Structures are given as C-alpha cells and as structure tokens.
Amino acid sequence: MKSDADLQHDVQDELRWDPSIHAAEQIGVSVKNGVVELDGHVDSVWDKYAAERAAMRVAKVKAVASEIKVDPPSSLIRTDEDIARAASNYLEWNVLVPKTVKVQVTDGVVTLEGTVEWQFQRKEAEEGLLWLIGVKSILNNITLKPKASVAGVKIKIEEALKRNAEIDAAHIMVETSGGTVTLRGSVRSWVEREEAEQAAWAAPGVTKIDNRLTVSS
C-alpha cells in the first residue's frame, strides 16, 4: 500500500515525465487518503486536461480533484470568432463527428450542442478541441440519442469486459436499466476503471454510465 507521500511523489514525477505537459512546474500536487488534488495556473486547456490524465495514470490513485485554472498569456489569446471558426473547421473535417454537432464560443468558453448516436462521437467532438489555442474550457452539452436497441446489453458488456486484457472482469458487476448501465466492484487502477467504462459505452443503446467502481488500495 502506497502512502500519500509516495503517491504525491509519483504524480509529480508523472507530470514531469509527460512531454505534452508544458506547465508541470506550475501545477501543485497534494494527496489525502489516495485522492489527488491538483491546483495552479496553466496556459491552455490542453495542459489542464493532460495533467489530470497523467495523475489518473498513477497506480493506487483513487480519484483526482482538479482546481487547475486556465489563464492563457497574451500570445495565446484569440477572439471568440477565431476560436469558433477553428472549432467549426475541426468538427467539419472530422469523420467521427456527425454534422448534428454545433459549436458556440463566449469569452473563450466553447459550448458543444446537438445530438449523436454514440458516446465516442460525443467524446471525439470535445477532445479534439482541447488542442485549440485560446480555448479556456469546454462545455459538452451534446446529448445521446441511440438508434440501436438495448436488448441483451448486460451480457454484451460482460463479454466485452472479459475480452479486454486490461480489465479484471471477475471483480466487476454490471447492472442495466433501460439505457443506463451501472458498474460496481473494484479495479486495480483508475486506468482500468476508465477502460471498463469505455467498454460499457460501446454497447448499443447505452445513454448513461453510472461508474461506481472503486480503485483498490
């Protein structure tokens, strides 16, 4: 079992190790009972996202609370019109994002609206915009409207979990109610927790995931 001090050191090392994070030294890390809290100021929404992902990759981290603020320097500030144009171009050229997704920008905050059939489309629309200069945050208001039936979804998800080499399916229980899937049990890491959730999202007809998996210490 890792101590909070050990976890803090590991998260700090992971932040410095990831070359895509340009502001590792500007991010503060504290740990209490396995829960990591990140704070500080970074230049871009990508740095915030990448720092949160880096912390989640560390073994034995139970959860991550992020208080990181995005504060772009003058060289990275863009007008809302510029950001909206760049975001619209990205969505237009991305084959994974349907034309039903629209974008609006106010004071550097990007809001996504519309409907999609699958969660991966909703996620793709958001994550691609993290790279854009000038974006301060992203509000993903895209709704899921699956066309597929949810029949037999519980069995399909359980089979998918068993196929995934990164997941110990023996400790995960799957419950379904309409388009909502609830995951219970324990996993070895936050990455495994996320892998299980992504596997569940791939099932046809799913509109919501209630992920109650805990990371074992």
pLDDT at 166: 83
| Amino acid symbol at 17 | W
Task: State the pLDDT at residue 174.
Answer: 95
Q: What is the pLDDT of residue 2?
A: 83
- For residue 25, give the 3-state DSSP assignment: helix
87-96: long-range pairs with CB below 8 Å, 24+: 87/129, 87/132, 87/135, 90/128, 90/129, 90/132, 91/125, 91/128, 94/124, 94/125, 94/128, 96/120, 96/121, 96/124
- Provide the pLDDT for residue 216: 83
Q: Is the pTM of this model over 0.85?
A: no
**What pLDDT is attached to residue 217?**
67
End-to-end CA distance of the chain: 6
Residue ranges in the chain whose pLDDT is less than 70: 150, 217
Tens digit of each residue's pLDDT (9 = 90 or more) over 123-144: 999 999 999 999 999 999 999 9
Strands of the sheet containing 27-32, edge to edge, are: 27-32, 35-42, 63-70
